[in-house]
Amino acid sequence: MRRADLNELRRRFNYACGYCSVTETSVGGELTVDHFQPRIAGGSDDIDNLVYACQRCNSYKHRFWPTEEEAHQGHHLLHPLRDNLAQHIQLNYTTGKLESLTPTGDFHITLLQLNRPQLVKHRLARQLEEVVEQKLALFAQQNREMRNTVQTQQRYITLLEALLQK
């Protein structure tokens, strides 16, 4: 794969695994390229058939491609960019686990082992980071507002002192 195409794929997937959302930063390097529909099942090297994936998800998916019967029963993977994942999967913010909303969501979570302990810990840690970032942003905003209030009060005090000296 040409470097420019790989960079485009990385950008499309926001530098994260299309299946489990682990980022390049989290794993300390670039991820792998998965053929959503494997070449052995007629898939192409077209960028729209490629998914930027971590080594684990790529390994769990391997060459899976459903038969017509499996697909009809909902036993197929969800494409990270083409399918509406929110219709099939939701995050339980308390446990950090993904929960299925449909049989397809259940199959997707199970095949890719998306509730493996490391991913659950990763999701919970990300949530904690987001809360800390929000609190820090709120603190910074309140600090700016307090400074503005103090400056306004200082100007007012200076004005009052000038009036009293007259």
Do 18 and 12 touch, CB atoms closer than 8 A?
A: no
Which residues have a Cβ under 8 Å from the Cβ of 69 and sit 6 or more positions away?
A: none
Look at the chain and report how many structural domains it folds into. Answer: 2
pLDDT value of position 10: 97
126 and 102 housed in the same domain: no
Token match 């998306």: residue?
A: 114
107 and 58 housed in the same domain: yes
Between β-strands 98-100 and 89-91, what pairing exists: parallel, antiparallel or unpaired?
antiparallel
109 and 148 housed in the same domain: no
Tell me the C-alpha distance between 34 and 125, whole Å: 26
Domain coverage including residue 126: 117-166
pLDDT value of position 2: 87
29 and 103 housed in the same domain: yes
pLDDT value of position 3: 86
**Could you tell me the two tokens for 66?**
């459903």
110 and 140 housed in the same domain: no
Which residues have a Cβ under 8 Å from the Cβ of 131 and sit 6 or more positions away?
A: none
The helix (run of H) or strand (run of E) holding residue 108 is helix 103-112
18 and 99 housed in the same domain: yes
105 and 149 housed in the same domain: no
pTM for this one? 0.79
pLDDT value of position 74: 83
80 and 140 housed in the same domain: no
Summary count for the chain: helices (H), strands (E): 6, 4
pLDDT value of position 100: 97
Q: What is the pLDDT along the chain (166 residues), one digit of tens a residue?
A: 788 999 999 999 999 999 999 999 999 999 999 999 999 999 999 999 999 999 999 999 998 999 889 888 889 999 999 999 999 999 999 999 999 999 999 999 999 999 999 999 999 999 999 999 999 999 999 999 999 999 999 999 999 998 888 7
pLDDT value of position 72: 87
127 and 145 housed in the same domain: yes
Domain boundary among 74, 91, 115: 115
59 and 90 housed in the same domain: yes
pLDDT value of position 1: 77
95 and 30 housed in the same domain: yes
108 and 124 housed in the same domain: no
Tell me the C-alpha distance between 3 and 42, whole Å: 24
Q: Would you give the DSSP letter of residue 130?
A: H
